[in-house]
């Protein structure tokens, strides 16, 4: 998702939702939900992890709102504690859950896997993101959201023993590999405020088909 995903100008906004048509490219290691289910069939329950912005939630509306309120025309809002207090404090009621996230979470819950959500957002007191995710995706055994305050997540992935990690950014893929987890790319929506869009599959990772929505 670069010094910090949240405090660099290149960040711009984390997130997704895709209305655009995407033509699969033959040189990418595409994987479908059925393929994924088959690859873990028969394996004991495991711990898996998800990035949040542009992976499970299309949260660009919250980031666009924050920019208009705190720093119209610039990315300075990403340095504002008030912005992070507000976005973590309930703005994600207006973020749009991704269809692919619903399918992945349903698959892993049916298997009895433990789910973790790891985000590069900074932690703020009174965060409501954990509760919003639990309600939105009907998560039975909800773990508190892990806030890393930046794109480096390998330590957090390793400490929780994650076997699979889903993310939209190159930093997610790299962090998962460094931690010994299986990285799987969820495509960022073409209308995300977090630009430029990544080059899906460029790191040799598996990429979920039609996962921009």
Strands 114-119 and 47-50, by their bridges, are parallel
Which residues, in sequence order, are bridge partners of residue 147? 119
Among 9-13, 123-127, 149-153, 174-178, where is mean pLDDT lowest?
Answer: 9-13
Among 12-26, 54-68, 124-138, where is mean pLDDT lowest?
Answer: 12-26
Tell me what pLDDT residue 26 has.
56
pTM of the full structure: 0.87
Identify the CA nearest to 170 among candidates 196, 133, 209.
196
Identify the CA nearest to 25 among candidates 212, 202, 213.
202
Average pLDDT for the chain: 90
Q: Tens of pLDDT along 138-166?
A: 999 999 999 999 999 999 999 999 999 99
Of the residues 27, 51, 99, 170, which is catalytic? 51
Query: First-to-last CA distance in the chain?
Result: 17
User: How many Cα atoms sit within 13 Å of 116 on the Cβ side?
Assistant: 20
Q: What are phi and psi of 161, to 5 degrees?
A: 65, 35
Cα 98 from chain centroid (whole Å): 10
208 — pLDDT class (breaks 50, 70, 90) = very high
Q: Tens of pLDDT along 8-45?
A: 333 333 333 333 344 455 589 999 999 999 999 999 99
Question: Residue 212 to residues 26, 30, 158, 208: CA-CA distances in angstroms?
Answer: 17, 13, 27, 9
Cα 147 from chain centroid (whole Å): 12
Q: What is d(CA 188, CA 97) in angstroms, rounded to the nearest whole number?
A: 13
Q: Which residues neighbour 166 within 8 Å (Cβ) at sequence distance 6 or greater? A: 48, 49, 50, 51, 55, 56, 104, 172, 184, 185, 186, 208
Instruction: Report residue 190 as tokens.
Output: 């073409």
Tell me what pLDDT residue 25 has.
54
Q: What are phi and psi of 44, to 5 degrees?
A: -65, 155
Q: What is d(CA 17, CA 11) in angstroms, rounded to the nearest whole number?
A: 17
User: Could you confirm whether 75 is annotated as catalytic?
Assistant: no
Tell me what pLDDT residue 7 has.
36
| pLDDT for residue 179 is more than 80 | yes
Of the residues 27, 35, 53, 75, which is catalytic? 53
User: Could you confirm whether 51 is annotated as catalytic?
Assistant: yes
Q: What is d(CA 204, CA 213) in angstroms, rounded to the nearest whole number?
A: 22
Which residues, in sequence order, are bridge partners of residue 29? 206
């Amino acid at each position: 998702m670069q010094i910090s995903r949240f405090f660099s100008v290149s960040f711009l906004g984390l997130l997704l939702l895709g209305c655009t048509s995407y033509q699969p490219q033959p040189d990418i290691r595409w994987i479908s939900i059925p393929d994924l289910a088959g690859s873990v069939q028969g394996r004991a329950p495991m711990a898996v992890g998800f990035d949040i912005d542009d992976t499970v939630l299309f949260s660009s509306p919250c980031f666009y709102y924050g920019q208009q309120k705190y720093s119209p025309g610039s990315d300075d809002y990403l340095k504002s504690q008030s912005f992070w207090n507000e976005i973590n404090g309930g703005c994600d009621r207006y973020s749009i859950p991704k269809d692919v996230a619903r399918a992945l979470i349903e698959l892993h819950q049916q298997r009895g896997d433990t789910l973790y959500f790891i985000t590069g957002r900074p932690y703020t007191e009174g965060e409501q993101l954990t509760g919003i995710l639990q309600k939105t995706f009907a998560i039975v055994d909800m773990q508190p959201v892990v806030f890393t305050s930046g794109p480096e997540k390998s330590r957090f992935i390793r400490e929780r023993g994650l076997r699979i990690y889903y993310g939209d950014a190159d930093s997610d893929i790299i962090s998962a590999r460094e931690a010994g987890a299986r990285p799987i790319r969820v495509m960022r929506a073409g209308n995300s405020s977090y630009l430029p869009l990544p080059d899906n599959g460029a790191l040799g990772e598996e990429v979920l088909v039609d996962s921009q929505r």
